């Protein structure tokens, strides 16, 4: 038994409003540079839809992730080590820029430099790749809100075989948003595909990173990741990927996407798992058993035996406490409402999703029934095959049963809580029907609807050992000792009162440098010339 | 007696080039690990690359093997195992010409692609251009000499001039007169190669030394402790890691 800790995330899809705030803040933080103009570490796709890059889920074509060979052994779907080396000179499975989209900016300069003329000058789009005028024909969310769906959404790989059953007509279809980041998999096929061994999983918190000094630009990881969440920086010639905002997480604050999420639908916390059992779990023969294999891999952080083993494995005490309070673990294994994205890729992804009940509720309401009543909802979940099948293809390798169970729990929570909110006697048969107690259902409701910042994000700071501790100390208020005047909880004087928010030293220096330097907007810089306008001598 | 020019060309130039090659790589590796990459351009264009790159690479790897065999293995050794000069030459020339033509065709496709595909062209640095001139120049001179030599029907036996001279450089007992006796084509090819080698560590060609053979044996998933690397935090003075 080798216990490891993993930083994981859960997203509650019912609450996503598709605002793309997470994508934009992530881009501003990480990929607003030339070379990665087309890269969105966080993207939000409308489903059904093709996703970004287009049809990335079609593994017959892209061959990402793992599969079982004839003898039931786990192997990379894209081919073994020798095959990777033999095809290294030209990667046969690399998505082209067209599959993402050609990034562009606008020729803003004509707006102010155009000569006087009868018509208002316009800023024409220009390719950020070639610098030439370009037509905009695709983007990272071209089919947002089912835009163009009658033509485009039928190419969604998950609709294969049921294309004709899903009608993309106004008011006759269902849709929801799927925000995606790197899954920080327990069995990352990106790392396994990297010939240089530059992609590694951090043994402390499981965050998967690309070592920029070791990456040699073989671009095999891009093909290896079934979620297409490693990207190639075409300027530096190196792979880049979501970092789980490790500089933030290390000091105990959530990732940028989670911090800025408008729907407050993201949860971050630790899970503990047994690293020795990952391979066996990923090799589970029947795809439909992968979900349970993945759930079983996560250990109960309150079990004394687990805690003893974890301490023996060097996981610090405060991390174990944080794991016990982890909202992620609770949603996955206590309430069993969170599901992994595409477990059939066998990478053991660690960003989990609570599937949306809204496609079902909408239909019930549109047909004039009571969209809050559990019997109607339960009946609708059973009757509405298409949304459930679709969700099953996303989250359970096509097995509708676990999706049904989750949706029934969410439906039960809805109708049980309505009674409570209306001051009626709660109907204990509702939780019974989904195998929970009334109290559990209420706790689930609390976690999904009311949980505050420090309940949604339970992130123990990293132990960078004494040197770092000293650095953090030096930035703390000297009055901030136990019971001192600087001390306070989530204070009586509003949000900002009380104890200081930990700041990352590196962010602090960066911010200060930036304040001292001239403001530079790199977002629309085309990578040519000097982004900093030359200073006029006074 | 060796002329000054011969000593310059066949002693000084090689040693300077080798020194720059070795020291340059060490320096580049220590100071520019981030720049050490193939700088793949596949994202921009795939159709031509899919053809040109494997053709070029498999060709050049064969050519390299051929050079290792031809330069490092003395004629006396092959004769000792019963391979006659004519037999050796027939095999070497035919394989060499085949590999050379593949390489050249691949390089032609790659250069054509660099020039005509817009995004690839704008991602081509001055460094890349110099590299291609030196690389293609060396290949053309080498292949030309071989083909022309064989067309005359009496090809020069470089294993009596170029090869022993090359080895003599590494015995620290340079024999420039051997090289001075080689035909002009060989001399030009060799000079071009020394310039290429001197430029090598400063170009994208450094990727050759990253051939990831370790991949064949390492475990699939790499774990690393965050202590192994320092994230984006520079250690404070006095707290730098030792070793
Ligand atoms: C040792 C094994 C080698 C490997 C694994 C290797 C691999 C690669 C890869 C992956 C690329 C990038 C192709 C792309 O996607 O754009 C590349 C480009 C290149 N390689 Fe190699 N290479 C090797 C040896 C060599 C050698 C021996 C030479 C020449 C002496 C060479 C010359 C080049 C050149 C000129 C390019 C640029 C092609 C272009 O984009 O125009 N390589 N190599
Ligand atoms: S989702 Fe992330 S960790 Fe998993 S294979 Fe892709 S890039 Fe690697
Ligand atoms: S910020 Fe939150 S609500 Fe908005 S798109 Fe992203 S995940 Fe959805």
Number of domains in chain B: 1
With beta carbons less than 8 A apart as the criterion, state whether A506 and B232 touch: yes
Ligand 2 nearest atom to the CA of residue A224, by list position? 5
Provide, rounded to the nearest whole percent, the portion of chain A with pLDDT above 70: 85
Q: Which helix (H) or strand (E) holds A149?
A: helix A149-152
B41 CB near ligand 1 (under 6 Å)? yes
Give the separation between CA A390 and CA A392, rounded to whole angstroms: 5
Q: What pLDDT score was predicted for residue B238? A: 63
Choosing from A63, A189, A215 the residue with most ligand 2 atoms within 8 A of its CB, the one to mutate for a pocket test is: A189
Residues A407-429, mean pLDDT to the nearest whole number? 94
Give the separation between CA A138 and CA A102, rounded to whole angstroms: 7
Q: What pLDDT score was predicted for residue A85? A: 95
Give the separation between CA A39 and CA A33, rounded to whole angstroms: 10
Residues B174-201, mean pLDDT to the nearest whole number? 95
DSSP H helical segments within chain B, as ranges? 4-7, 13-31, 47-72, 75-80, 85-116, 118-122, 126-151, 162-170, 176-180, 184-199
Whether residue A519 is predicted with pLDDT greater than 70 in this model: the reply is no
Interface of B with A in 87-116 (CB under 8 A): none
With beta carbons less than 8 A apart as the criterion, state whether A237 and B203 touch: no
Nearest-CA distance A34 → chain B (Å): 12
B207 occurs within a structural domain: yes
Q: State the Cα angle at A368 between A365 and A369, rounded to 5°.
A: 70
With beta carbons less than 8 A apart as the criterion, state whether A295 and A274 touch: no
Where do we find the tokens 């216990």? A3
Comparing A129-138, A222-231, A514-523, the range with the smallest average pLDDT is A514-523
Over residues A243-271, the pLDDT tens digits come to 999 999 999 999 999 999 999 999 999 99
Q: What pLDDT score was predicted for residue A213? A: 92
Over residues A482-491, the pLDDT tens digits come to 444 443 333 3
Whether residue B155 is predicted with pLDDT greater than 90 in this model: the reply is no
With beta carbons less than 8 A apart as the criterion, state whether A213 and A50 touch: no
Question: 10 Å Cβ neighbour count for A146?
Answer: 18
Ligand 3 nearest atom to the CA of residue A23, by list position? 6
Domain that holds residue B148: 4-216
A409 CB near ligand 2 (under 6 Å)? no
Over residues A277-336, the pLDDT tens digits come to 999 999 999 999 999 999 999 999 999 999 999 999 999 999 999 999 999 999 999 999
Structure-block tokens of residue B127: 């460094």
B133 occurs within a structural domain: yes
Choosing from A11, A20, A21, A352 the residue with most ligand 3 atoms within 8 A of its CB, the one to mutate for a pocket test is: A21
**Residue A218's closest CA among B48, B123, B38?**
B38
Q: What pLDDT score was predicted for residue B232? A: 47
Q: What pLDDT score was predicted for residue B214? A: 94
With beta carbons less than 8 A apart as the criterion, state whether A411 and A370 touch: no
> Is B34 an interface residue toward A (CB < 8 Å)?
yes
Please, what are the domains in chain A? 1-67+74-101+138-158+171-354+456-517 (3.30.70.20), 355-451 (1.10.3650.10)
Residues B74-78, mean pLDDT to the nearest whole number? 90
**Residue A146's closest CA among A176, A102, A180?**
A176
Give the separation between CA A342 and CA A189, rounded to whole angstroms: 14
Comparing A73-82, A359-368, B203-212, the range with the smallest average pLDDT is A359-368
Give the separation between CA A403 and CA A406, rounded to whole angstroms: 5
Residues A494-516, mean pLDDT to the nearest whole number? 44
Q: What is the mean pLDDT of chain B?
A: 91
Ligand nearest to the CA of A200: 2
Q: What pLDDT score was predicted for residue A492? A: 40
Q: What pLDDT score was predicted for residue A527? A: 58
- The alpha carbon of A102 and the centre of ligand 1 are apart by a number of angstroms equal to 25
Whether residue A508 is predicted with pLDDT greater than 80 in this model: the reply is no
Phi-psi region of A420 (alpha: psi -120 to 50; beta: other; left: phi over 0): alpha
B196 occurs within a structural domain: yes
B42 CB neighbours in chain A (<8 A) are 90-91, 94, 219
Question: 10 Å Cβ neighbour count for A190?
Answer: 29
Whether residue A502 is predicted with pLDDT greater than 60 in this model: the reply is no
- The alpha carbon of A184 and the centre of ligand 2 are apart by a number of angstroms equal to 5
B123 CB neighbours in chain A (<8 A) are 234-235
Residues A25-44, mean pLDDT to the nearest whole number? 95
The DSSP string of A85-105 is HHTTTS-TTPPPHHHH---EE
B65 CB near ligand 1 (under 6 Å)? no
B206 CB neighbours in chain A (<8 A) are none
**Exposure string for A418-445, b = 16+ CB within 10 A, e = fewer:** beeeeeeebbeebbebbebeeebbbebb
Question: 10 Å Cβ neighbour count for A414?
Answer: 19
> Is A251 an interface residue toward B (CB < 8 Å)?
no
B229 occurs within a structural domain: no
B198 CB near ligand 1 (under 6 Å)? no
More confident residue, B165 or B226: B165
With beta carbons less than 8 A apart as the criterion, state whether A268 and A459 touch: yes
With beta carbons less than 8 A apart as the criterion, state whether B162 and B182 touch: yes
Cα distance between the two ends of chain B: 52
- The alpha carbon of A177 and the centre of ligand 3 are apart by a number of angstroms equal to 9
Residues A170-176, mean pLDDT to the nearest whole number? 76
Give the separation between CA A480 and CA A485, rounded to whole angstroms: 7
pLDDT class for A174, splitting at 50, 70, 90?
confident
B225 occurs within a structural domain: no
Whether residue B228 is predicted with pLDDT greater than 80 in this model: the reply is no
Structure-block tokens of residue B228: 């192994």
Q: What pLDDT score was predicted for residue A424? A: 93
Q: Which helix (H) or strand (E) holds A68?
A: strand A66-68
Residues A21-32, mean pLDDT to the nearest whole number? 96
B143 occurs within a structural domain: yes
Name every residue whose Cβ is closer than 8 Å to that of residue A404 and which is 6 or more positions away in sequence: A381, A382, A388
Question: 10 Å Cβ neighbour count for A488?
Answer: 14
For residue A336, whether the previous peptide bond is cis, meaning omega lies within 30 degrees of 0, is: no
Over residues A63-93, the pLDDT tens digits come to 999 999 999 999 999 999 999 999 999 999 9
- Tell me what ipTM this predicted complex has: 0.89
Whether residue A427 is predicted with pLDDT greater than 60 in this model: the reply is yes
> Is A408 an interface residue toward B (CB < 8 Å)?
no
CATH of the domain at B84: 1.20.950.20
Name every residue whose Cβ is closer than 8 Å to that of residue B227 and which is 6 or more positions away in sequence: A464, A465
Give the separation between CA B104 and CA B62, rounded to whole angstroms: 12
Q: What pLDDT score was predicted for residue A506? A: 44
Beta strand A66-68 with A199-202 is unpaired
Give the separation between CA B158 and CA A55, rounded to whole angstroms: 56
**Residue A333's closest CA among A362, A361, A301, A357?**
A301
B235 occurs within a structural domain: no
Give the separation between CA A351 and CA A208, rounded to whole angstroms: 13
The reply to whether residue A199 touches residue B212, judged by beta carbons under 8 angstroms, is no
Over residues A428-485, the pLDDT tens digits come to 999 999 999 999 999 999 999 999 999 999 999 887 553 333 333 334 344 433 444 4
The DSSP string of B33-97 is STT-S----TTT--HHHHHHHHHHHHHHHHHHHHHHHHHHS-HHHHHHTT--HHHHHHHHHHHHH
**Residue A258's closest CA among A491, A5, A7?**
A7
- What is the reported pTM? 0.87
**Residue A187's closest CA among B173, B219, B241?**
B219
Whether residue B240 is predicted with pLDDT greater than 70 in this model: the reply is no
B118 CB neighbours in chain A (<8 A) are 129-130, 132
Distance of CA A190 to the CA centre of its chain: 16
**Residue B78's closest CA among B65, B59, B64, B92?**
B92
Whether residue A210 is predicted with pLDDT greater than 50 in this model: the reply is yes
Residues B187-213, mean pLDDT to the nearest whole number? 96
DSSP H helical segments within A298-446, as ranges? 304-312, 317-324, 327-329, 358-366, 374-383, 385-395, 400-421, 429-433, 438-445
Which residue minimizes the CA distance to atom 24 of ligand 1? B208
Ligand 2 nearest atom to the CA of residue A349, by list position? 4
B123 occurs within a structural domain: yes
């Amino acid at each position: 038994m080798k216990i490891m800790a993993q930083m994981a995330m859960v997203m509650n899809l019912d609450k996503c409003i598709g605002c793309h705030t997470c994508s934009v803040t992530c881009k501003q933080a990480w990929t607003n540079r030339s070379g990665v103009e087309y890269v969105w570490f966080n993207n939000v796709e409308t489903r059904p839809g093709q996703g970004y890059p287009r049809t990335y889920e079609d593994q017959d074509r892209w061959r990402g992730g793992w599969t079982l060979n004839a003898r039931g052994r786990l192997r990379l779907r894209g081919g073994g080590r020798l095959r990777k080396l033999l095809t290294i000179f030209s990667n046969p499975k690399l998505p082209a820029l067209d599959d993402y989209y050609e990034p562009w900016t606008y020729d803003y300069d004509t707006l102010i430099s155009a000569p006087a003329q009868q018509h208002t000058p316009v800023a024409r789009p220009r390719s950020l790749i070639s610098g030439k005028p370009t037509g905009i024909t695709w983007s990272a969310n071209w089919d947002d809100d089912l835009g163009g769906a009658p033509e485009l959404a039928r190419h969604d790989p998950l609709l294969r075989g049921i294309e004709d059953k899903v009608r993309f007509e106004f008011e006759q279809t269902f849709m929801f948003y799927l925000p995606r980041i790197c899954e920080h998999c327990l069995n990352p096929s990106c790392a396994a595909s990297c010939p240089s061994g530059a992609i590694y999983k951090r043994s402390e918190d499981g965050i998967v990173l690309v070592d920029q000094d070791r990456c040699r630009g073989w671009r095999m990881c891009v093909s290896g990741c079934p979620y297409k969440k490693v990207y190639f920086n075409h300027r530096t010639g190196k792979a880049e990927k979501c970092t789980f905002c490790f500089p933030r997480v290390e000091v105990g604050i959530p990732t940028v996407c989670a911090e800025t999420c408008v729907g407050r639908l993201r949860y971050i916390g630790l899970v503990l798992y047994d690293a020795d059992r990952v391979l066996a779990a990923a090799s589970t023969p029947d795809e439909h058993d992968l979900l349970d294999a993945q759930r079983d891999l996560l250990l109960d952080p309150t079990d004394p035996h687990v805690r003893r083993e974890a301490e023996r494995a060097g996981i610090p005490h405060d991390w174990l406490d944080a794991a016990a309070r982890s909202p992620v673990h609770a949603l996955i294994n206590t309430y069993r409402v969170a599901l992994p994205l595409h477990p059939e890729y066998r990478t053991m992804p660690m960003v989990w999703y609570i599937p949306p009940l809204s496609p079902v509720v909408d239909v019930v309401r549109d047909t004039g029934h009571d969209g809050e009543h559990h019997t109607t909802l339960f009946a609708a979940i059973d009757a509405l095959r298409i949304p459930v099948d679709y969700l099953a293809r996303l989250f359970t390798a096509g097995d509708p049963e676990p999706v049904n169970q989750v949706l029934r729990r969410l439906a039960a929570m809805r109708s049980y809580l309505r009674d409570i909110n209306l001051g009626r006697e709660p109907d204990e048969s509702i939780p019974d029907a989904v195998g929970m107690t009334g109290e559990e259902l209420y706790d689930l409701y609390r976690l999904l609807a009311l949980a505050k910042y420090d309940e949604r994000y339970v992130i123990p700071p990293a132990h960078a050992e004494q040197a770092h501790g000293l650095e953090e100390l030096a930035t703390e208020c000297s009055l901030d000792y136990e019971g001192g005047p600087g001390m306070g909880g989530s204070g009586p004087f509003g949000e900002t009162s009380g104890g200081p928010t930990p700041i990352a030293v590196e962010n602090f220096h960066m911010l200060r440098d930036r304040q001292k330097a001239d403001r530079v907007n790199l977002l629309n810089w085309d990578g040519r010339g000097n982004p900093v306008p030359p200073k006029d001598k006074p | 007696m060796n002329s000054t020019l011969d000593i310059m060309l066949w002693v000084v130039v090689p040693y300077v080039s080798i020194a720059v090659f070795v020291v340059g790589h060490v320096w580049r590796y220590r100071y520019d690990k981030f720049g050490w990459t193939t700088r793949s351009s596949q994202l921009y264009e795939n159709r031509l690359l899919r053809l040109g790159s494997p053709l070029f690479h498999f060709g050049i790897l064969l050519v390299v093997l051929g050079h290792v065999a031809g330069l490092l293995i003395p004629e006396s050794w092959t004769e000792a195992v019963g391979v006659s000069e004519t037999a050796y030459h027939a095999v070497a020339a035919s394989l060499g010409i085949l590999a050379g033509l593949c390489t050249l065709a691949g390089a032609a496709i790659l250069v054509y692609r660099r020039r005509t595909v817009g995004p690839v062209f704008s991602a081509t640095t001055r460094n890349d251009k110099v590299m291609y001139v030196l690389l293609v120049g060396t290949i053309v001179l080498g292949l030309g000499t071989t083909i022309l030599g064989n067309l005359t029907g009496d090809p020069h036996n470089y294993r009596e001039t170029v090869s022993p001279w090359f080895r003599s450089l590494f015995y620290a007992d340079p024999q420039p007169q051997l090289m001075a006796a080689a035909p002009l084509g060989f001399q030009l090819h060799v000079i071009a190669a020394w310039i290429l080698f001197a430029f090598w560590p400063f170009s994208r060609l450094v990727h050759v030394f990253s051939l990831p053979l370790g991949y064949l044996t390492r475990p699939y998933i790499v774990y690393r402790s965050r202590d192994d690397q320092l994230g984006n935090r520079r250690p404070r003075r006095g707290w730098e890691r030792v070793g």
